[in-house]
Amino acid sequence: MSVHIGAKQGDIAETVLMPGDPLRAKYIADNFLEDVVCYNKVRGMYGYTGTYKGKRVSVQGSGMGLPSLSIYAHELVNEFMVKKLIRVGSCGSFQPEVELRDIVIAQAASTNSSINKNRFKGMDFAPVGSFDLIMGAVAKAMDMGINPHVGNILSSDVFYDDEPEFWKQWAKYGVLAVEMETTALYTIAAKFGVQALTILTVSDSLVTQQGLPAEDREKTFTQMMEIALEIA
C-alpha cells in the first residue's frame, strides 16, 4: 500500500489507463474489462484491475490537475512497478478543425504551470509522449476509421482563466487543445524511464463555445478508451 493507493504488490498491472474522473475509471472497468477487482477506494479515487482480450490491465483515476496526477503516476511507477501509463482524458479545442468528440493524441505537452520549472531549477524541460505508443495509437485509430489530431497540447493550471482570450496565443503556435495533467505525466515517465501517452476526446471548444455534458464525458468517450486498451 502506498500513501494514496490502497493496493498490495501485484494488484496493479504493468499497464494502467488513467482518466481524470474516477467514475470514468469505473465505467471503463465495468464496460471493457473482465474479471475485474477494485484495488483502490482511497479518497474515492477508484482503481481497478481486470483483463482486456486476455491481457491484464488496470485503470486508475488521477483526479484533476498536475499535482493530483503527479501523486498517482509517481506511486504507480515507483511503488507498484507500472511500466506504461496511458491517460484517457477530455480536452477543450483551440483549433477550428479540432471538433467536438474528435480524438487528440498528445505528442508533447506545453504548460503555463511552474511545476517543471521548479523541478529543473528554472530551465525548460520538453515533455514528450512515448514514440512507440504514439505510433500504436495512431495506427489503431486509423484501423478504426478515425483520423486523430496529433500534436502539441497545453496542460493548464487554470480551468477558469481570468483572461477569456488566453488560448489564442497557444492556438497561434499550433497547440491543439487544453487539458490539465499531461505535462506532469510525461515528465514523471521520463524521470522513471517508463512509457506514457495521453489520448484525449474533445469535450468542448474554445473556438465555438460548444460543450458536452458531464455524463457524456464520463460514459461516451468510448473510441479513446478502445484505442488505449488496444495499445495497452
Ligand X SMILES: O=P(O)(O)O[C@H]1O[C@H](CO)[C@@H](O)[C@H]1O
Instruction: List contacts with ligand X (CB under 6 A).
Output: 19-21, 64, 89-90, 159, 179-181, 217
To the query of whether residue 143 is one of the catalytic residues in this protein, the response is no
Least spacing, CB of residue 8 vs ligand X, in Å: 26
Which residues, at least 6 apart from 164, have a Cβ–Cβ distance to it below 8 Å?
none
Distance in Å, CB of 61 to ligand X, minimum: 9
Q: Using the minimum distance from each CB to ligand X, give the nearer residue, 20 or 50.
A: 20
Q: Which phi and psi (to 5°) does residue 197 adopt?
A: -150, 145
Minimum distance, C-beta of residue 54 to ligand X, in the bound complex (Å): 27
* Minimal CB distance residue for ligand URA: 92
58, 15 Cβ separation under 8 angstroms? yes
* Closer Cβ to ligand X, 11 or 179, answer by number: 179
- Does 180 sit near ligand URA (CB under 6 A)? yes
Residue showing the smallest CB distance to ligand X in the complex = 20
E strand segments, 29-81? 34-40, 47-52, 55-60
Is residue 84 within 8 A of residue 232, CB to CB? The reply is yes
Mark the segment that binds ligand URA (CB under 6 A) among 104-112, 115-123, 127-135, 177-185.
177-185
Name the grid cell of 33.
Answer: 474489462
Alpha carbon of residue 194 to chain centroid: 15
Active site members: 204
